[in-house]
Amino acid sequence: MTEEQENPWHILSQRSVYDNPWIGVTEYNVINPSGGKGIYGKVHFKNIAIGVLVIDAEQHTYLIGQYRFVIDAYSWEIPEGGCPAGSDPLESAKRELLEEAGLEASQWRELLRMHLSNSVSDELAIVYLAADLVQKTPQPEDTEQLAIKRLPLQEAFAMVENGGITDAISVAAFQKAALMLERGLPLFFPNGKNQ
């Protein structure tokens, strides 16, 4: 580990200030990298965020629309959900795809991992690509009022570019897929080497 990679923060004390089944908030008394005393708040997520970028045989994708309480706005997103601690992220992705879009996929590939807001949160997201689809019946949770939109993949890329999609997981997933396609890289491995 190089000197710049070593942790320059020193924790003097910490206390839990909020906790529920999904998140916990901890306040730390710290000595910051410049040597001054201060506080730092951390939001700990108890689930891994899961996203599924779906691509069907006609190069269409699926978006889920829902009103998001925290931002007080409607949002179009790839199918998303949570993976409880100790659970298999891929199995959680399969569950979320069926619940939200009513789809089952036989091809899966991990597309990316990302930290969503690493200045205040430790939330990790894992995004998968899914293909070879079978349509089933969506099974949304009681708290979800969802709309499903099937559209060409290129239209979803355009929605990211023009601000029609602002969800961070969805933006990153579509940008990564667009970059791979632009570079001529396969979204899925041949010969069954996918997950």
181: part of which helix (H) or strand (E)? helix 168-182
pLDDT at 139: 82
Per-residue pLDDT reduced to its tens digit, 52-82: 999 999 999 999 999 999 999 999 999 999 9
109 belongs to a structural domain: yes
User: Could you give the CA distance from residue 59 to residue 42 in angstroms, rounded to a whole number?
Assistant: 40
At 157, which helix (H) or strand (E)?
Answer: helix 153-161
Domain presence at residue 19: yes
Cα distances (angstroms) measured from residue 29 to each of 11, 13, 105: 6, 5, 47
Helix (H, G, I), strand (E, B) or coil at 15: strand
Q: How far apart are CA 22 and CA 12, in angstroms?
A: 26
pLDDT at residue 1, rounded to an integer: 61
In this predicted structure, what is the pLDDT of residue 28? 97
Q: Is residue 192 part of a domain?
A: no
One domain, residues 146 and 109: yes
Fill in the amino acid letter for 56.
D
pLDDT at 48: 97
Q: Which domain holds residue 151?
A: 47-187
With respect to residue 141, please indicate whether it lies within any of the assigned structural domains.
yes
Same domain? 31 vs 126: no
In single-letter form, the type of residue at position 3 comes to E
DSSP 99: H
Total structural domains within the chain: 2
> What residues in the chain have per-residue pLDDT under 50?
none
Query: Is the CB of residue 170 less than 8 Å from the CB of residue 51?
Result: yes
Query: Are 16 and 96 within one domain?
Result: no
- Note the pLDDT tens digit of each residue in 135-147: 999 887 777 789 9
CATH of the domain at 131: 3.90.79.10
